[in-house]
Amino acid sequence: MEPRRGLRPAQRLHGKELEGEGAGPGRGLLAAGGALLLGVFQRREPGSVLMEINTDILILGGGLAAYAAAVELRDSGREVTVVAKAPGASALNSGAWDIADSPIRGPRDEWAEWPSWREGLKEILRRQEGHPYSVLARGSGDGKFADFVAAKVRAAAEVLPLEMTEGDPLALVTDFGTVKPSAWVQASMRDADLRRWQRAKVLVLGIPGFPNFNARFLRHSLLEQQERQAKSHLDFAGSLDLEIPDLQGRVSLKPVELAQRLDREETFVAAGQAIVRYLEGKVYTHLLLPPVMGIENTRAILEALRRITGLAAAETLSGPMSVPGWRLQQAIEKFFHHRDIERLEGEAVGFDAEGRRIKSLYVHQGDQRHKVRAKAVILATGKYVGGGVARRGRWKEPVFNLPLFLQGKALRAQTLPQVSRPGVAERQPFLGAGAAINPMAQPLDADHEVVYDNLFAAGAVLADFNPAQERCAAGVSIVSGAVAARQAAAVL
């Protein structure tokens, strides 16, 4: 990447003088205490280059919250730069966008009685004062926060280079045989909505050598769950393990490898012909597939299967090692590219500030370091997966050294057992640790005061929000990203 505008070696880091390019690790800065605070230049190699880049708004992170911020800024005329060190939790996405599941919905509630996401949001606002939704709703002021959420999620879906479809709620089959609620889903999964099934006759398709998807287990699980429903969504289910050409005898196939094989026309055509032969004389209405139906050609694959079989064909949601997550991440990258948003693949490791304004950040990119001058910064680095939350002696956000909060209180040196619960299936408090914000999405210090006037935060890095166990991760990421972007543009 060629740095933009006025390239020259940077001279100061958080008010401390830098030494020359050949300085050894720790000299100068370490004596001043800067490297201890920011972790900068301890890995610096002699001869590395530090160049300068100027932008209006710098977004740290490359996932769904960063994407939502970029969507909000797309017609603002502002120059936007994204810095991301690696794909984050968005690359693990199941294929669904959860907006707001009700905290009082029971695991055995019938699918037909599941509440809408608007009802779920209402319960969150009523019960969870510190939740990001509750904090951001206090800034809306007009009592129409649910409409704001709906508008921002729909806008994010409409411009994404990946087809999404809406339902309120959807009852979606997962690849390990459970059924979960959601509000938006990749179009390849829309026909796996059990609430729309009426006496369905479903064939579950597995692939030998792909242990992530057990067709027989999933079939038994669906039939068992149907027995607890008053409405007959599922009449009967069968299963088939389909041999994929050139993969016979393989074991422990990886999801991405399998999806790439199915992207090939000759592989998919042979698989499709085998499915059609098996279906001859049978009376199935639905075809349930593992979530590996291609990466680039998923839409064409599903449309072809629906056409040649006459069945409603759909992928299940995915677990970890997610092909749908990679589709989402690729779509986000395509959006950045199509909008000419410059993306630096690197890690923010330090910053300059004057008073309560951030002036620039330092970004490691390979063996180079860039100084990025920005008028406003959006922190969307995620939680543990993305590296936005860390415990290194004490709990902190590692880029700006922000305090982390849990249940309204600042975390300090608590051990992990002190913020955990013993049961594996229990909600784990430590997963809700993050940066506290005000209704303008500005991070707060331990005294609940704004830290920097031009710093904003969005997504999983936020406090009192557990993206791993609460079904509202996509909604919070999109809405907080939009609010952070709007406020960032306002301070320029």
For residues 382 and 301, membership in a common domain is answered with no
33 confidence band (pLDDT: 50, 70, 90) = very low
Q: Which amino acid is at 4?
A: R
For the segment 297-326, the average pLDDT, to the nearest whole number, is 95
What percent of the chain stands above pLDDT 90? 73
Q: Alpha-carbon distance 205 to 275, whole Å?
A: 9
In a domain, 400, yes or no: yes
Tell me the pTM. Answer: 0.88
In a domain, 101, yes or no: no
In the chain, what is the straight-line distance between the N-terminal and C-terminal CA atoms, in Å?
A: 26
For residues 308 and 333, membership in a common domain is answered with no
For residues 167 and 272, membership in a common domain is answered with yes
Q: What is the DSSP string of 117-154?
A: HHHHHHHHHHH-TTSHHHHHHTTT-SS-HHHHHHHHHH
For residues 404 and 459, membership in a common domain is answered with yes
For residues 194 and 46, membership in a common domain is answered with no
In a domain, 3, yes or no: no
Read off the CATH number of the domain in which 232 is found.
Answer: 3.40.50
Cβ contact 61:385 at 8 Å = no
| Phi and psi, residue 302, nearest 5° | -70, -40
The upper half-sphere exposure of residue 370, i.e. CA atoms within 13 Å in the direction of its Cβ, equals: 25
In a domain, 124, yes or no: no
SS3 state at 277: helix
* pLDDT at res. 28: 35
In a domain, 355, yes or no: yes
For residues 289 and 354, membership in a common domain is answered with no
For residues 291 and 357, membership in a common domain is answered with no
425 confidence band (pLDDT: 50, 70, 90) = low
Q: Alpha-carbon distance 152 to 129, whole Å?
A: 22
Angle 86-260-304 (CA atoms, 0-180°, nearest 5)? 125
Dihedral sign from CA coordinates of 260, 264, 270, 275 = positive
For the segment 67-75, the average pLDDT, to the nearest whole number, is 96
Task: Pull the structure tokens for residue 37.
Answer: 């605070």
For residues 334 and 222, membership in a common domain is answered with no
Please report which helix (H) or strand (E) contains residue 167, including its range. Answer: strand 164-173
Domain termination site, one of 317, 346, 377: 317
For residues 340 and 375, membership in a common domain is answered with yes
Going across the sheet that includes 286-289, the strands are 234-241, 200-206, 286-289, 312-315
Read off the CATH number of the domain in which 439 is found.
Answer: 3.50.50.60
CA distances from 61 to 236, 292, 344, 399 (A): 45, 26, 10, 12
The domain containing residue 451 runs over which residues?
12-92+327-490
Cβ contact 288:204 at 8 Å = yes
Which range is least confidently modeled, 97-101, 106-110, 343-347? 106-110
For the segment 282-294, the average pLDDT, to the nearest whole number, is 97
How does pLDDT run across 382-395, given as a tens digit for each residue?
998 888 998 877 88
For residues 309 and 400, membership in a common domain is answered with no
For residues 74 and 179, membership in a common domain is answered with no
For residues 254 and 360, membership in a common domain is answered with no
The total of structural domains in the chain comes to: 2
